[in-house]
Amino acid sequence: MTIPAKAFQRWLQGIAPDASTADVCRISGIKRTTLAQQLVRGKVSVSTVVSISRAYNINPIAALADFDAYQELAGPQPPPTSCELVSQISTADLLRAMLARPAMDPAGEGSEPPALSPAPHATSVKNWVDAIDDGEVRQRVSAATGIAPQNYSAQLTANRLTAELAVATALTAGVGVAGGLVASGLITEEEAGWPPGARQAALDSLSDGDLAALAGDRLQALGKVLRRQEQDQAQTEKIWENLG
């Protein structure tokens, strides 16, 4: 969902009353042509609001909450669930953590795993939805927003989710609204108010069996993606060969 240009201009006037459009673009790193095109169309992207809010030291969550479409972001946000936190740990980090566990060390000592890579990761969006899905979240989101189920699934497969759908998904699942914005890469963990080290703590709380099962599920999903890519590549090469 985009922000109405008039609402955006009122918001911008409130945070930077004396700044010109050129000033705002220079400070936020947004191209003047990009912002100008959005204003002419009457629709300003959510990422534009986030970039400008950061430039003026305003939390993006608080900035978005000023707009009607994102009023759910106003006020304190509930903390992320353990499943949400683990969903934002990459498959590579899960495997490294598994190998560092004492159960995987013949000497039974284990080792210190490396620090987690920052969110989001290659499958963060789908993992987040899977983590909060009670089996019917996808259907309820489709009914609430009007998006076709296949289009919603396509966004998850592509590891992207619009801010509108991220908020709708969180509300439908009954979790904190900011989680989907972190998973989609729109905001950071810190901006969402996640406690420092929360993902690591959630990972450490997993038993060896649960961690192994989760890593296995991730590897199985990765295998399907890689096989599909290999099949597509082989088909493309065959087409080029037939074209001579």
| pLDDT of res. 234 | 86
Cα dihedral angle (18, 24, 28, 29), rounded to 10 degrees? -150
pLDDT mean across residues, the chain: 93
| pLDDT of res. 109 | 66
What is the three-class DSSP state of 49?
helix
Stretch 89-111: mean pLDDT, rounded?
84
| pLDDT of res. 16 | 95
Phi and psi torsions of 174, nearest 5°: 75, 30
Query: Does position 82 have pLDDT exceeding 90, yes or no?
Result: yes
Give the confidence band of 148 by pLDDT, cuts at 50, 70, 90.
very high
Q: Contact at 8 Å (CB) between 70 and 62?
A: no
Query: Does position 107 have pLDDT exceeding 90, yes or no?
Result: no
pLDDT tens per residue, range 221-239: 888 888 888 988 888 888 8
Query: Does position 152 have pLDDT exceeding 70, yes or no?
Result: yes
In percent, the amount of the chain with pLDDT more than 70 equals 98
pLDDT tens per residue, range 180-210: 999 999 999 999 999 999 999 999 999 999 9
* Higher per-residue confidence, 1 vs 68: 68
Examine residue 120 and say whether the peptide bond preceding it is cis (omega within 30 degrees of 0). Answer: yes
| pLDDT of res. 108 | 61
d(CA 53, CA 57): 6
CA 237 → CA 223, 224, 231, 241, 243, distances in Å? 21, 20, 10, 6, 10
Q: Contact at 8 Å (CB) between 49 and 63?
A: yes
Q: If phi over 0 gives left and psi between -120 and 50 gives alpha, with beta otherwise, what is residue 112?
A: beta
Q: Is 61 exposed, middle or buried (0-12, 13-18, 19+ CB in 10 A)?
A: buried
| pLDDT of res. 18 | 94
| pLDDT of res. 37 | 96
Closest CA to 97 of 195, 216, 215: 215
d(CA 227, CA 225): 6
Q: How far apart are the two ends of the chain, measured CA to CA in Å? A: 45
Identify which of 71-80, 106-115, 202-211 has the greatest average pLDDT: 202-211
Stretch 11-18: mean pLDDT, rounded?
96
Closest CA to 215 of 110, 129, 207: 207
Residues forming beta bridges with residue 3, ordered by sequence position: 44
d(CA 42, CA 110): 57
Neighbours of 111 (CB within 10 A): 12
* Higher per-residue confidence, 90 vs 112: 90
Query: Does position 20 have pLDDT exceeding 80, yes or no?
Result: yes
| pLDDT of res. 244 | 61
Neighbours of 220 (CB within 10 A): 9
